[in-house]
Structure 1
Amino acid sequence: MIIVATFCVALLVATTLIHYEVLRALTLSLPVLTIPPRSKLIAVIFGAFFAHTAEIILYALTTYVLVRYLGLGKLGEIRHLSMSAAMYFSAETYTSLGYGDVIPSGDLRMLAGAEALNGLLLIGWSASYTYIAMERFWSGDEGEAAKVRRAPGAHRRTRRHPDVFRR
């Protein structure tokens, strides 16, 4: 159990860092790109999708190692765990889809719980970030939005979140 708990903490840290760095890279690169504002929003969506895919792969690799090499649990009735089965289980767990066709047993249940909680938090983070980006880029006129923010009295706007896309 201590081994799986250690893997859980390491994965929580690693996936949070991956997510942070991808969103940070988007924040720094999008304002200087000379592409239409709506295309910048598409870049945000693909960036978030890339981050989630990398995090699911990381969990799948850990699941594969824990089951196949350390024998710390099983995934349902699967006799010979393949990487594709570990990927399926990880994607299902990370997104909290919960089909229930592959059920973890043993210490692997702790990893599944941590992955589901982590996935929910990171998906929420992506949704929040995408909302901010959409608010910024949806109108397609960044210049006007920036002028409004710098206008006298702009500090009294009701917007409660910082403008993460402004340099």
Structure 2
Amino acid sequence: MAAIVLAFRRRQAVSGPAKSHIRLVVLMTAVVALLNLAHVVEVAIWAAAYWILGVGPESARPFYFALVNFTTLGYGDVLPAPGWELIGPLTAMNVILVLGWSTAAIFAVLSSQLPRAGVRH
């Protein structure tokens, strides 16, 4: 995210409010895309941990099981291995913090760029 913001700050010399709005849209799209990519990597890390520990159900792939927990969707079709019932809620607690941090990052980038785009907030 820092690299994206720096790249757009360097291009601040481009004039015209329409171009500023376009830059803002592109910047925010890039920020959200990078955060989504980061979340997919986080799901993969959880999946690897589940696979290594053997806590996922045999009927589901580790990535799917991690994604169900990561989205705090809850169990409908998959359950953890016996003795690991708390792994889902622990994953969900972690994810709530991560998604809150991501939301704060999106807001910080947006609020830092709105004045440059000529938008008052």
> For the superposition of Structure 1 and Structure 2, which TM-score range results when normalised by the shorter chain?
0.7 to 0.9
Q: Find the counterpart in structure 1 of residue 38 from structure 2.
A: 51
Q: Give ranges in structure 1 of 5+ residues lacking alignment.
A: 1-25, 68-72, 149-158, 160-167
1:120 to 96, 102, 105: 96
Query: 1:1-167 to 2 correspondence within 5 Å?
Result: 26-33=1-8, 34=11, 36-67=23-54, 73-75=55-57, 78=59, 85-137=61-113, 139=114, 142=116, 144=118
Aligned length: 109
**2:110 corresponds to which letter in structure 1?**
M
Residue 36 (structure 1) shift: 1.4
**Percent identity for Structure 1 against Structure 2:** 23
Residue 41 (structure 1) shift: 0.6
Residue 143 (structure 1) shift: 6.1
Aligned to 1:132, what secondary structure does the other structure show? helix
Question: TM-score, normalised to structure 1's length?
Answer: 0.55
RMSD value over aligned CA atoms?
2.7
Residue 109 (structure 1) shift: 2.6
Aligned to 2:85, what secondary structure does the other structure show? helix
Residue 53 (structure 1) shift: 0.6
Q: Give ranges in structure 2 of 5+ residues lacking alignment.
A: 12-21
Residue 46 (structure 1) shift: 0.7
Question: TM-score, normalised to structure 2's length?
Answer: 0.73
